[in-house]
Structure 1
Amino acid sequence: MTENYYKWHSPNLGKEFEMLVFGDSGYPLLLFPTSMGRYYESKDRGLIDAIRWFIDEGRVKVYCPDSIDASSWYNKNIPPAYRAYNHTCYDKLLMEEILPRMEAETGKQRIVAAGCSFGGYHAANFAFRHPASVSYLFSLSGIFDIKPRMDGYYDDQVYFNNPADFMPNNQDADLWRMGIVLGTAETDVTRPHNEHFSRILAAKNITHWLDIRPHAMHDWPVWREMLPHYLSLIK
């Protein structure tokens, strides 16, 4: 399995940024780390090994970007407005610096967005903000409401990074041709969030699968089972 490490100066963040890429060809998969996780987390936690067959067979090429959660949503040392602004800069990095690389290297104009836990938020937020660029969304134990991290602050940048708020009004036609899986588990702390968001999608007649795994909880073992299953659904 080919593994490549990239580091560059991001003009959107104004600092160095790192990413691991696995595979040589296939559907481009943007795989986000969990809360404040690093670009190597999916490798260290066995998630890459769990989907190794898809990588070795050229089914997917996996891009694992770093997170900036410690500078954005999780940074309690800066005002909430700056947290939202920093995440907006991260979104621009994804769109302007990473997505063009993915398209150039795979020949695909639309990608798969996926992530576990807070990475599921990142995947969902990116997919629903940019549905023309995303064919599939696989959110594994994700959340969809960022407001609890805002200390009561709210502005347009919070709204447009908060799927629970902006999705009811989102009429982008590409949403109705996206393959969407909301994965959670029977005793997962995110189960109520996923059930609520499933109702939002259902109210819009957006086809999706709410996958609630029995006898499982919010942890890596269930995510290592989920992601290969979801990748097998790609057509």
Structure 2
Amino acid sequence: MKQAKISVDDDGVEPQVCVIELGGTVGDIESMPFIEAFRQFQFKVKRENFCNIHVSLIPQPNTTGEQKTKPTQNSVRELRGLGLSPDLIMCRCSTPLETSVKEKISMFCHVEPSQVICVHDVSSLYKVPLLLEDQGVVSYFCQRLSLPIEMRPRKMLTKWKEMADRTARLLEPVSIALVGKYTKLADSYTSVIKALEHSALAVNHKLEVKYIDSADLEAATQQDEPVKYHEAWQKLCSSQ
């Protein structure tokens, strides 16, 4: 509650919304103290100031292609048993959620169909906010938390859409070599990759990152594995 009152800009204005993420899987013993804290927190700040969003995976096995709802049903049931009822259920899936699947989740998880949000894979991460907007998430927040967003010119969303559309039109490539010790674990360099992606977008270039193991560039590799050595140097030299 104290953090929610701290301004995120230099203007000193108190934020309208504070987002709290509780990671992990519902039912894990490690997260139980935090779930209990959430349960108590919702009563402390009152319902009109607390909106619970549950993110759930909708598996889609390659064998059948059927979108499975059981994991979502089970996690919501367990969440309710712990004293938390989701206001929105964000369904992560590889393809758009089928209407019948959405209605099934709505029925068995005790929420309106409009409260079941499909967050399927898209070509760019920047398109996710637009995906949520199309499904009425912003309007829901306005009503649920009494936010005056609808009364203001929504210039930011227009600018965001322009940026998302621009990512799909990038044609001129730029290749950057990333030399490191842990290049086989791409997550180790996530902050670097995101910074490069933002920079490439700012100058209207399509980014291609070439991962190079630093050990492959050393003289010892030239003696032991000359092919790997020359491939690594060729990849480095061909980067722009």
Rg larger in structure: 2
Normalised to the residue count of structure 1, the TM-score between the two structures is 0.34
Normalised to the residue count of structure 2, the TM-score between the two structures is 0.33
More helix by share: 2
